[in-house]
Each structure stands twice: as structure tokens, then as C-alpha cells.
Amino acid sequence: MFTSQPGETDNQWQLPTETRAVRAENQAALLRRWEIARVLDDTDPRIVARWFPGQRDLLERLSVYSEDEVKAAADCLCPLFTIALLEGHPAPGSKPFATVDPYELANREEVFMALCVRLDAIRTDMEKGCILHDLTASEAGTLSSSTPHQLKDLAASPGMTLNLSASDQYFSAVLAGNMTVGERTRLAFMSKKGRANFR
């Protein structure tokens, strides 16, 4: 599941859809955080704590790197972020609360796309999808029975954000020097944080 082949970057369209989806999610999520990191000193700490929980250290780290370096760190076949469908979240189909806040709208879009990635993965292979994305059987069941509209409602639930599953060790290593996609993938998988960190 976490192996890479020669020419993997140039031939990424030959990779399975779920693998390309992981790479796309990693890049979009890290670049979003890099954009925030560039103006971190001017950003209300409450915004950082609300929409990027437990990720201030990551933001500070990303602030000193270039866009190309951040993209390289994101080029990994293991998800760098996870979603925990915590107890108390409204069930799919509940009415989303109204919002006009741009940070909240961006978070909804990020979470919705991440839920779609996980739904596609478990529909392709339930067992591998759960392992890859750290999903419980209950969470997989909720996702697999959800329609796109219900996923949008779920993405609007209070407290739904992407949690950082990649460890400090991962970012220290990949941002410090050149590593292959395979090396980044193995490091991310072996050093990722346990789900207990998000509960």
C-alpha cells in the first residue's frame, strides 16, 4: 500500500485514484497552512486555535520554507492529516449552521473534500481504506451510507477540522533535506500520531 516506484512523480497519473487523492489532499492542506503561516504574526491566535487545533508549531515551522519546499513535504502517499468523527457531531442530514466567516468556509471545503477522499477509499477497499485513513468501523459505516449533501452537512458540524497526524519527526526530516516519495511515505506511516491525540 505504501510502496513507490521509479518515476513515481512524473508518472503520478498511473497511480490508483485513491493514492492520487491522498497526495492532492496533503498538498492542498499544507499549502493552506503555509498561506496562514506567512501572515501568522498578524493572525488572531483564536483563529489559529479554532481552525488549526494543535498545529501552531507546524505553522511556525512552515513559515520559514518556500512554496516548493512545502509541496515536496506534502508529496507523500500516506495521509498527513486525519479526521475524527467525534461523539456529539450532528448526524449526516442535520442542518448546517449559518456562517459568513471566510476561515469557516475554507474549513468546510477542506473537510468536505477530505470526507470525499475517505469515502472513495473505503468504497474501493473497506479494510485498506480504514487502515490508511485511521477510520473506525463506525466512522466508515457513517461515511459509506452518506450522500454528498449529507457529507456537506457533516463538514459543517462544529469541531470538524483536519487534525495533523504526521509527527514533528516527519516534518523535521522532510523539510531538512531531499527525500524520495517512498522515504517520506514510510516515515509518515511509521511516525504518525495515534488517534488518542485527537479525542
Q: What's the pLDDT at 3? A: 42
In angstroms, what CA-CA distances link 99 with 5, 105, 108, 149? 44, 7, 10, 17
Rounded average pLDDT over 157-176: 90
Q: What's the pLDDT at 4? A: 43
Backbone angles phi, psi at 81, to 5 degrees: -135, 155
Q: Cell 496533503 belongs to which residue?
A: 26
- Confidence class of residue 158 from pLDDT cuts 50, 70 and 90? confident
Over residues 44-67, the pLDDT tens digits come to 999 999 999 999 999 999 999 999
| Residue with more model confidence, 74 or 177 | 74
- Confidence class of residue 96 from pLDDT cuts 50, 70 and 90? low
